[in-house]
Amino acid sequence: MNYGIPHLSKNGKIVTLGLSGGSEVGPDIYCLAEQLQMKYQMKFILTILSRVEITPRSLWIQYMADTINMYSLGENTVSCNEVFESYQNEDISFVYSYTLSAINNKCYGRDFTVIECDDKSQPLTQWWIS
């Protein structure tokens, strides 16, 4: 975002896709997105696509351990417990997938929208922060 935003034309848009650790309250990327919006005074949209709870026996932990072990080629293998402890040490209890969009419309003040697609009680829930 920091490299691309200065090159946007009027009404130009950057869309990123990523993963973020976080808690039950929300993803850590939220704070970064809020800082970017204040810095650039543009419209920002954070869309939470999904969240996965991190537990010692979650598939996420198993997949991470399997991936680490596959790329280590038999050297320095890790257990699921070690991977889980790493997430705990960083205070990560959920992993979120998201998109973050910046739109160069030169708004003034706060124009930051969060859309959560993972809310099971609603088909689509939106929050506007002003």
Position with higher pLDDT, 118 vs 72: 72
What does the CA dihedral 38, 40, 41, 46 come to, rounded to 10 degrees?
A: -70
* Mean pLDDT computed over 24-51: 92
Phi, psi of 43 (to 5 degrees): -80, 130
For residue 91, what pLDDT is reported?
97
Q: Is the pLDDT of residue 19 over 50?
A: yes
Q: Give the pLDDT band of residue 111 (cuts 50, 70, 90).
A: confident
Q: Is the pLDDT of residue 124 over 50?
A: no
Its pTM surpasses 0.85: no
Q: Which two tokens stand for residue 15?
A: 């869309």
Residues near 127 by Cβ (< 8 Å), separated by ≥ 6?
113, 114, 115, 116
